[in-house]
Structure 1
């Protein structure tokens, strides 16, 4: 291996607004020896707008495995490489996983240059719980597998995040209403950071009606955020009547005084002896 160890920089690029590129990302892209890009035509336009001249090589889902040896050769020679996708953070529903895994196995440094991500951007503005979330990415394009995948996620107790294309967003919302229920809180985030950025939060059924009624809302790229299902009340949250009222109710239902005392004691923590006295007093009051 060369005395100068090469390294890979995983660089996030804008998802729409060019102003979201970080100063560090620009510095890295301008300084590396090679830039591996998902689509070199798209990335060349980005670099030109940034005033950066980079040596581009394609790295996409169809050639990633064969590109690994080339990148390893560059790093072995002490050269540096940046990995970028068409938009946002590489590897998040984009190529690069096999490359990064191979470089870790070979002992080369892999450094993050964080920045834009449609997933995090949508979560930050959806107004839904973000303490726990599950990123599903793109659902299967065919109706059957798509429904089965949503059914598997229906009871997940945390927020769900999906990517979707405009041509399928209506069909996806329709099956979400059917599987998750129309009242589920959700958000539709369209064209984030771009000219026609639109975000709307509502129930799934209302969001479906809104998209159906406006043809503009089926254009572009979407992030769909679905909140967790309504939680059933926990045992601690259930309102239990006061001990005196419980004694009265159970005695009127015919439960014996001692049994009533034991049951109410377990429910309320009150003294069994005190509850027994209350139960027998209830008997006397009823007879009088």
Structure 2
């Protein structure tokens, strides 16, 4: 993907997390462990779902796509973060910055829509269980998934087009650990009100519409669950949604705070910590949330580990 650069600046300096050399080594080990764990966890989820026929259901099809998305998500930012932690000159080229920004925002927007799709899946499963197989056919699931990826990347292409047309003539220091929208906009030396307005409107569209779909789905789900007479029935119905609801709450609360604001935000340390939450830690904890609260995945995984005798204590 090519970006037209009308600027004198050819590279940016990422401040990241300034610290002493000893602390930088600790940070490198810390982020490396997080990256390896995140990739490993999501690969395990994908493999477990793909290799076991009992998990060939729409909910797990979407979960596989979410795991793929999480792998791509952390791979856009963390490897570059690892390099910058140990190097004195933490630079990134203009085209590299725009490329990183494009893929990061595209994947984030895709996750917004995919989480809404998963909420709709839970709505059909709880509110229309007898029609679930007919409605959530494999073809329809593929269409929903492709729509999630397509909408995420289409919205971001428009965003990046306007941002890449701005002029950046100094300073070139990005107070962040990766190229994000607000830190980059803060460096523009010409009127960037149009790019800022386009970014804000598209952020509202790609965040609020999926959030609205998710909210409506869960209002219907809760209403249906409350009508179930037995306590066990209510608990069983809610347990199918608890993991997804937890992930949705964490993801949307952080992304709305960062991206759904009408004015450019100064990239202060607080914003960097929040960015760490949704860009690095959320992909790490999501597999734990889904596996620990999902009996089918957990049972399938433990049976496999027992059969291979990797962790015999799990078989007790």
TM-score interval, normalised by the smaller of the two chains: under 0.3
TM-score, structure 2 length as denominator?
Answer: 0.20
Larger relative strand fraction: 1
Larger relative helix fraction: 2
Name which structure has the greater RCO, CA cutoff 8 Å, separation 6+.
2
TM-score, structure 1 length as denominator?
Answer: 0.22
